[in-house]
Structure 1
Amino acid sequence: MIDKNSPIPIYYQLEEEIKRMIQDQLKPGDLLPSEREYAEKYDISRMTVRQAITNLVKEGLIYRQKGRGTFVAERKFEQDLSGLSSFSEDMKNRGLIPSNKLLSFHVISGHTWISSILKTEPTDEIYEVKRIRMANDEPLALETIYTPKHLVGEISDKDLFMSFYDYIEKKLNLEIAYGNQTIEASLAHEEETQYLNIKKGDPVLVMHRTSFLKNDQETPIEYVKSIYRSDKYKFKMQMKRD
């Protein structure tokens, strides 16, 4: 409910009220009341309602369709950053079906930047794999994997339609110990628009991760760059105060 005597701004109270409705009562695709209906229900100005609605649109919780109204958006996929898991594992844990579309697969060498990350010689051969990661056939991320050929052996196209972590751990019997990961905000370029059903300039989340084997040398086994749709994906983590 809206408390007009509260020091909390009314538009923010309305935002929280709508969020509760989305969480408890509504489902993706449901039509929300109009600005006029909200204004009459809570006896507040339409300008206040418009501010609350605009903020929720920016958060990606709802979306507007001209001439039709405002609707509840699809819920974002959420990845917990407190552990190291693969895309496929995350999707399966949500009851979704993960899949890949292979875009390119070849061997490269002579690239010092990736050799320095994977701690290989510049002349060593490295697999470069580019694929689209999907859940229930919906594209969520554009992924590029780099992995040393001498560590993973001969890879076939068929191997790349499974989780790469599964390939490493189940087929090669290698154990992944940990990964170093960064995430940054960016804007979609032309390549992402081709594969992720988004527009150039749309916000995306870019993840860089290097995974290491469990051995004395802590050998890098994989470097991956993943570009996620920010309208479909979000990350969370638990932070403890020292």
Structure 2
Amino acid sequence: HTYMPVKLVPDLDESILHKSIYDYIHKNLNLKFGHAYRKIRANKADEYDQKYLNAKKDDPILELEQIIWLTNGQPVEYSISKNRYDTRDYVLLDNNRF
């Protein structure tokens, strides 16, 4: 699940979501990310994970919760993503120049 302020990311539609929302934010809206808060945790699969991620009851689920701010301090994204342990990994590179 991802939440973005409509005022900061106008005209967002499915065609953008099927491509790259970050390209749209950077190239079309000329917005730059400043910093981010990220929390990574592991949980056991709940009913939702079993249904939508095809996880087994005892499968570990990797969850990433994040808030991203623009260089001017405005939050532009809050999201939580969940993935099965065997389908995704995360690599974090902190860089305030993108």
Q: Give TM-score scaled by structure 1 length.
A: 0.36
What is the SS of the residue equivalent to 2:4?
A: strand
Higher relative CO (Cα under 8 Å, sequence separation at least 6) belongs to: 2
Counterpart residue number, 2:27: 170
Aligned pairs for 1:73-88 (under 5 A) are none
Counterpart residue number, 1:211: 68
* CA–CA separation in structure 2 for the residues paired with 1:163 and 1:200: 32
Q: Residues 209 and 191 from structure 1, CA distance in 2 versus in 1: closer, same or farther, beyond 3 angstroms?
A: same
Which 5+ residue runs of structure 2 have no aligned equivalent?
94-98
Give the structure with the higher percent helix. 1
Aligned pairs for 1:1-242 (under 5 A) are 144-215=1-72, 218-235=73-90
Question: Where does structure 1 differ by over 3 angstroms across 4 or more consecutive aligned residues?
Answer: 234-238
* CA–CA separation in structure 2 for the residues paired with 1:237 and 1:179: 11
Q: How many residues align?
A: 93
Which 5+ residue runs of structure 1 have no aligned equivalent?
1-143
RMSD of aligned residue pairs (Cα, Å) = 1.9
Counterpart residue number, 2:96: none
Cα deviation digits, residues 144-185 of structure 1 (max 9, x gap): 100011111121121111222112112211111221100111
How far off is 1:194 after superposition? 2.4
